[in-house]
Amino acid sequence: MTDRDCLSHLDSSGTARMVDVSDKSTTARQATAQTRVRMQTATLDTILAGNAPKGSVIETARIAGVMAAKQTSNLIPLCHPLPLTGIDIDITPDRELPGLLVRATVKTKAPTGVEMEALTAVTIASLTIYDMAKAIEKTIELESVRLLHKSGGKSGEFRADESSE
């Protein structure tokens, strides 16, 4: 097997390299990732009421998530820069947690997938929530950053086990 046949970030001598995807087909690809931001109910209420000292926590986190997805190849070594065709950041309250569920769905038409872009988006959006709400509560926790779904490409579709969502 040659280096071109193996999708590895290491060449035959063990040197790190960006995988050559030039021979892969350009296909529609999509990935959805999620994280949970756990906080006290009073903190969640403050955020939802729009009374956080730093402003609109959810809207700022949404913008941060979009910006992060677009910067993924600058943040993750050996990650390909991709032409992103869609980024949707959904931040919803979860009273049972209590906290916020952060989901990102990222789309492209490219020779490689967008899982890292979706994961980066939810991570940075969640960190932004923490940053904007830390004056209210310092015990906020970021939990369970994970890929929920991906489609497109040679490996096909992946869907996480729903029982662990």
Find where tokens 């926790």 sit. 141
pLDDT tens over the chain, length 165 residues: 344 444 566 677 777 777 778 778 899 999 999 999 999 999 999 999 999 999 999 999 999 999 999 999 999 988 899 999 999 999 999 999 999 999 999 999 998 999 999 999 999 999 999 999 999 999 999 999 999 999 998 888 999 987 655
Q: Give yes or no for a contact between 90 and 29, defined as CB atoms under 8 angstroms apart.
A: no
Q: 3-state DSSP call for residue 8?
A: coil
Residue 1 and residue 4: Cα distance in Å, rounded?
8
Tokens found for residue 117: 């872009």
Read off the pTM: 0.89
Looking up tokens 């403050």 gives 46
Residue 7 to residues 15, 24, 61, 113: CA-CA distances in angstroms? 14, 11, 34, 13
Write out the two tokens for 5.
């046949």
- Give catalytic residue positions: 131
